[in-house]
Amino acid sequence: MADGEFLLEQATLDRIKRIGGEKLLARLAMVFLEDVPPKVSLLKKALANKDWAAIERVAHSIKSSAGNLGAMELYGLAGELESQSHNIAASGCRDSGITSLVTDFERQFTLVVTELKRLKESYHA
């Protein structure tokens, strides 16, 4: 996946380009790159504080942003974080596994950010 082949769903990228061209795709990538990194910081802070409601909210927001750009692996991980944090908050059960899930999420997020930067630059070249 290092080459970005599966990081962003091609059908989603094509749909965005059909609607607004490469300019819209570059703009959406820029918005993601500006808006989502601070949310990831909030997510890590919330995890450190075991603030399950905050994790659920932030993960939901990131899930939407990832889905809009076809970052389906990131979308899925954000959805898992959202669901697990909701379940932990609702049941009061232990947070087993959520820390490793956040690690997987962060790894995928880094790959998506790298790919979006490359994509954005390729349309501004």
Which two tokens mark 11? 């059908």
Q: Rounded mean pLDDT of the chain?
A: 90
Residue ranges of domains in the chain = 10-124
Position of tokens 């944090």?
Answer: 85
10-124 CATH choice from 3.40.50.150, 3.90.1150.200, 3.40.50.720, 1.20.120.160: 1.20.120.160
Mean pLDDT, rounded, for 93-120: 89
Which two tokens mark 38? 């601070």
Between the alpha carbon of residue 19 and those of residues 3, 11, 15, the distances in Å are 26, 12, 6
Give how far the C-alpha of residue 74 lies from the chain's centroid of Cα atoms, to the nearest Å.
5
Q: What's the whole-model pTM score?
A: 0.89
pLDDT at 115: 94
pLDDT at 122: 81
Sign of CA dihedral 47, 109, 9, 27: positive
Give how far the C-alpha of residue 55 lies from the chain's centroid of Cα atoms, to the nearest Å.
13
pLDDT band (50, 70, 90) for residue 48:
very high
Q: Where are the alpha helices (DSSP H) in 49-97?
A: 52-68, 72-91
